[in-house]
Amino acid sequence: MTGHQPSTPVVCSFSNPEELIESLAHFILKAQKESIQKKGRFTVAVSGGSLPEQLNGLIGKDGVKWDKWQVFYADERIVPLDHEDSNHALCTTQLWSKVPIPQENIHTIDPALIDAASVEPASDAEDALEEIADAYEQELIREFANKDSARFPIFDLILLGVGPDGHTCSLFPGHPLLSEDDRWVAYITDSPKPPPRRLTLTFPVLNHASRVAFVASGAGKVDTLHTVLDKPEEGLPASRVRPISPGQVYWFVDDAAAAKIEYPKTPFKL
Ligand SMILES: O=C1O[C@H](COP(=O)(O)O)[C@@H](O)[C@H](O)[C@H]1O
């Protein structure tokens, strides 16, 4: 049965956020190198929230082949791409505007569909939301299906954050979307964290990736990490990210966030 087993998390804890950021940058560079050697490109999904700032270690770093990156969003909010709530806007401010990545390598939701998907009430926007999710799935299919011919896309790297309630991407505790096993991209209209309308990659996509790296830092995440890593039986969304072998899930955390974790930590090495 090897090849179809869920991986067990590898947890690396760093004494401070700076060390975490530098080590994460080296980890990403290694993943980039292996991916480009194998396939000539590096497919990455990026989250919003606190994650983009943790990618600062890549800015100005030698060896980053930005022209080989193909970037998608792990989740996105249904707001204009320059809106303060947009994950694309956040990533642009924190990272893309500071590095030489070609614009066409960053795959956003279709801006032409955002107005129709934003009408009130949400029930009148369902068709447009379906369309915007379908369009993003098609964007993924164009990138992956012809090249990798797999049932689900196999991202080289998915970079995730975890919210205080254990959500990741826009997969929230107790939401029916946690059972989605077919779609690559889905929409929600009832996110408990604003804004309510969002697109998200689904669990099958997360769990087919070659590598998923969660990043969490600061004492504010301490109880969440304890539950997610030590009590997976509670089924919080972040606990359910277990890419099938040979895929692997990593946790990059700092000691403040990891203070209550009983789960064994692994020394970081490349
Ligand atoms: O709403 C979101 O929240 C999560 C977690 O955010 P964080 O600020 O607690 O790191 C984030 O990963 C996701 O992309 C975002 O849309």
Look up the CATH number of the domain holding residue 77: 3.40.50.1360
Report the nearest atom of ligand 1 relative to the CA of 164.
9
Q: What are phi and psi of 73, to 5 degrees?
A: -100, 130
Segments in the chain forming alpha helices (H): 17-39, 87-94, 114-117, 126-148, 203-206, 222-230, 255-258
pTM of the predicted protein model = 0.97
Residue 191 Cβ contacting ligand 1 at under 6 Å: no
Strands (E), the chain: 10-14, 42-46, 69-73, 75-77, 157-160, 185-188, 198-201, 211-216, 248-254
Does residue 196 lie within any of the structural domains? Answer: yes
Which of 117, 159, 163 minimizes the C-alpha distance to 136?
A: 117
Q: What is the CA radius of gyration of the chain?
A: 18
pLDDT digits (tens, 9 = 90+) for 123-144: 999 999 999 999 999 999 999 9
pLDDT of residue 10: 98
CB atoms within 10 A of CB 48: 23
How close are the terminal C-alpha atoms of the chain, in Å? 28
Residue closest by Cα to atom 7 of ligand 1: 49
Residue 48 Cβ contacting ligand 1 at under 6 Å: yes
Report the nearest atom of ligand 1 relative to the CA of 161.
12
Report the nearest atom of ligand 1 relative to the CA of 193.
1
pLDDT of residue 262: 98
Find the domain containing 212 and state its range.
2-258
Residue 165 Cβ contacting ligand 1 at under 6 Å: no
Report the nearest atom of ligand 1 relative to the CA of 216.
10
pLDDT in tens, the chain (270 residues): 445 789 999 999 999 999 999 999 999 999 999 999 999 999 999 999 999 999 999 999 999 999 999 999 999 999 999 999 999 999 999 999 999 999 999 999 999 999 999 999 999 999 999 999 999 999 999 999 765 557 899 999 999 999 999 999 999 999 999 999 999 999 999 999 999 999 999 999 999 999 999 999 999 999 999 999 999 999 999 999 999 999 999 999 999 999 999 999 999 988
Contact status, residue 44 vs residue 157, Cβ threshold 8 Å: yes
Does residue 267 lie within any of the structural domains? Answer: no
pLDDT of residue 1: 42
With H, G, I as helix, E, B as strand and everything else as coil, classify residue 249: strand
Does residue 21 lie within any of the structural domains? Answer: yes
- How far, in Å, from the CA of 167 to the mean position of ligand 1? 8
**Given ligand 1 and candidates 55, 72, 75, which is best to mutate, with the most ligand atoms within 8 Å of its CB?**
75
Does residue 265 lie within any of the structural domains? Answer: no
Contact status, residue 209 vs residue 168, Cβ threshold 8 Å: no
Q: Over the chain, what is the mean pLDDT?
A: 96
Domain count, the chain: 1
Does residue 157 lie within any of the structural domains? Answer: yes
Quote the CA–CA distance of 123 and 237 in Å, as a whole number: 26
| Ramachandran quadrant class, 34 (left: phi over 0; alpha: psi -120 to 50; beta: rest) | alpha
Which of 222, 254, 237, 247 minimizes the C-alpha distance to 24?
A: 254
Distance set, CA 88 to CA 78, 85, 110 (Å): 11, 9, 12
